[in-house]
Amino acid sequence: MYRGFQLNLKGKSLKESLSIREFIKRLKEYEYEDMNEENESIVQDTLDDFFLPDSSIDGSKMQENWFPQIKADVFISHSHQDKELALGLAGWLHEEFGLKGFIDSAVWGYSQYLENRLLDTYRKYSSLHKDELKNFASAHVHMMLSVALNQMIDNTECLVFINTPNSISLNAPIDETTPSPWIYSEIAMSRLIRKRALSEHRKHKGGPLFESYSAELPIRYTLPMDHLEKLTLKDLQEWERDCQKNSSHSIKALDSLYKLKPANKR
């Protein structure tokens, strides 16, 4: 990861709110359905290939198969309630800038299915109670997904967190908190993960699910967002105009964004 941004789509005035609403409507008109089609063929629906000679399962191989690393430019962090908006943003980035966005739920939407497959498999061999088996399968699948997400954040050049009332709690006892453990994990890791130079991200370019469901429990996580530069609708519109004016695409488009929003020295 090189840079991170939080896209704030909450208007401070009626006029600004209407503009944001129109832009969101426009985003949702973009279609970016090839993500599923491109990666569904990678995922297998059997666990047979992952068994080792001692009848245990090769967890690393299973993770690589079910949560493969996808080449992408922008990691889009979002609430599962904003999936349609996230897909629209990914389509906009692709159509207008030639950038490939990564949305975990669109690529790795097989977590529950994998958990069920593990349960079905281990019921044949284990004497554990069904609740214990479920906790066992859930822990392994969530661990694999968490590791895969962190790897994707590390590999993508840029992260955009869609900051909406669905992801950031409103009227909560503590400001800037989220009830989603997955959003918390993604943003916290984006702060801790190594910051890599542009040259390292681009050296191979020649010249970026599981849905974040949160149980109805009184658990909130404070999001560490001081490392994410703020993006507004005005910023996105200015970025789009600049790229259209200069016919910027792909990595040059990201350079335009970085120039528009220079990194704060901390």
Per-residue pLDDT tens for 190-247?
998 878 888 888 775 544 433 444 444 456 678 888 899 999 999 999 999 999 888 7
Question: Do residues 159 and 75 make contact, with C-beta atoms less than 8 angstroms apart?
Answer: yes
Mean model confidence pLDDT for the chain: 80
> Using 50, 70 and 90 to split pLDDT, how confident is the model at 249?
low
Residue 213: CB partners within 8 Å, gap ≥ 6? 80, 180
Amino acid in position 78: H
Residue 73 above 80 pLDDT? yes
Question: Who contacts 13 (Cβ-Cβ below 8 Å, separation ≥6)?
Answer: none
Which alpha helices (H) appear in the chain, and where do they start and end?
14-27, 34-39, 59-66, 83-97, 104-107, 111-123, 130-155, 181-192, 198-202, 233-246, 251-260
Higher-pLDDT residue of 67 and 257 is 257
Residue 177 bridge partners (DSSP): 222
| 66 pLDDT more than 80 | no
Please give the structure tokens belonging to residue 206: 């020649």
The predicted structure's pLDDT at residue 212: 42
Instruction: Examine the pLDDT at 45 and tell me if it is beyond 60.
Output: no
- How many CB atoms are closer than 10 A to CB 92? 21
Query: In this predicted structure, what is the pLDDT of residue 229?
Result: 93
Q: For residue range 90-130, list pLDDT tens digits in order.
A: 999 999 999 999 988 776 766 777 888 788 777 776 677 77
Looking at residue 231, its pLDDT comes to 93
- Model confidence pLDDT, tens digit, residues 19-40: 999 998 998 888 665 554 554 4
pTM: 0.79
Per-residue tokens: 112: 């529950």
Is the model's pLDDT at 143 over the cut of 80?
yes
